[in-house]
Amino acid sequence: MSTGFALDDAAWASPWRRRAVGEKVLLAGGLVGVGISLPVWPGSVLAAAAALAILLGPAQVSPRVLARSVAAPLAFIVVGSLSVLVSLRWDGGPGVAVTEETRRSALSVLGHGTAGTLGVLVIAATTPMADLLGALRRLRVPDACIDVAGLVYRLVLVLLATVVQMGEAQAARLGYRDRRTTLRSSAALGAGLLVRSWDRARRLEEGLAGRGYTGSLPSLDPPRRTSLPFVATSLVALGAITTAALTMGGS
């Protein structure tokens, strides 16, 4: 099943696709927890390395897809770290300074942010949204919340595909050959996307009404048995990272 979204396609094709959602949430949530709560060295570094090894190893996520998925969050984290690293001072006139405290804070933001991002990608790259929504339904989350989340997620994918198609059509007509045409094409793309969004939402509402929507959109969700070896291995790995971080007493 192709959704046109690389990370979601990777989740549908993942060899961990048939695993129980709970055991993957345990592993990914544990990596996020130890990655952001333990000292950067060695806690966050080990958690990030473990998440990276899982994604490129057993989860079989393509390096290209992983690089594309992590590029934007990493850029945001780096910018945030730089803003923490540099402090403004006003003694003797305006200026900037880098102190030991700001350096430590910047490394903390960079390490914890990177480890947390890679931990979240473990669940995002192995579990499609449909499985996550099914797990939430089993946890007795109200159907209305699950239905709204599913419909918004689907609508976002459709709109992203629409933006790509509109951009390619404009580029084929030399709509981005210079600054003036780029501004004009960007404005037209935004206006066209707004109209398409409104039309898609209206058609979605009509489709639900035509199918007799009564407040619930049940979907097939075959039961999956939790693998005790997988859970035990995850707990051992998380315990090893925690023990190593506490024993080495990093900063």
pLDDT in tens, 165-181: 888 898 888 888 888 88
Q: Where does 38-128 have alpha helices with state H?
A: 45-56, 63-85, 100-124
Find which of 66-80, 93-107, 128-142, 208-222 is predicted with most confidence, using mean pLDDT.
Answer: 66-80
- For the record, the structure tokens of 116 come out as 């947390």
Question: Comparing C-alpha atoms, which of 86, 95, 107, 92 is closest to residue 43?
Answer: 107
Specify the pTM: 0.79
pLDDT at 2: 55
For residue 76, name the pLDDT band (cuts at 50, 70, 90). Answer: very high
What pLDDT does 26 receive? Answer: 93
pLDDT on residue 29 = 93
Residue 32: half-sphere exposure toward Cβ, Cα within 13 Å:
14
Residues 137 and 71: beta-carbon distance below 8 Å = no
Q: Is the pLDDT of residue 149 over 70?
A: yes
Q: What is the rounded CA–CA span in Å between residue 125 and residue 167? A: 27
pLDDT at residue number 121: 93
Question: Could you tell me what percent of the chain has a pLDDT over 90?
Answer: 31
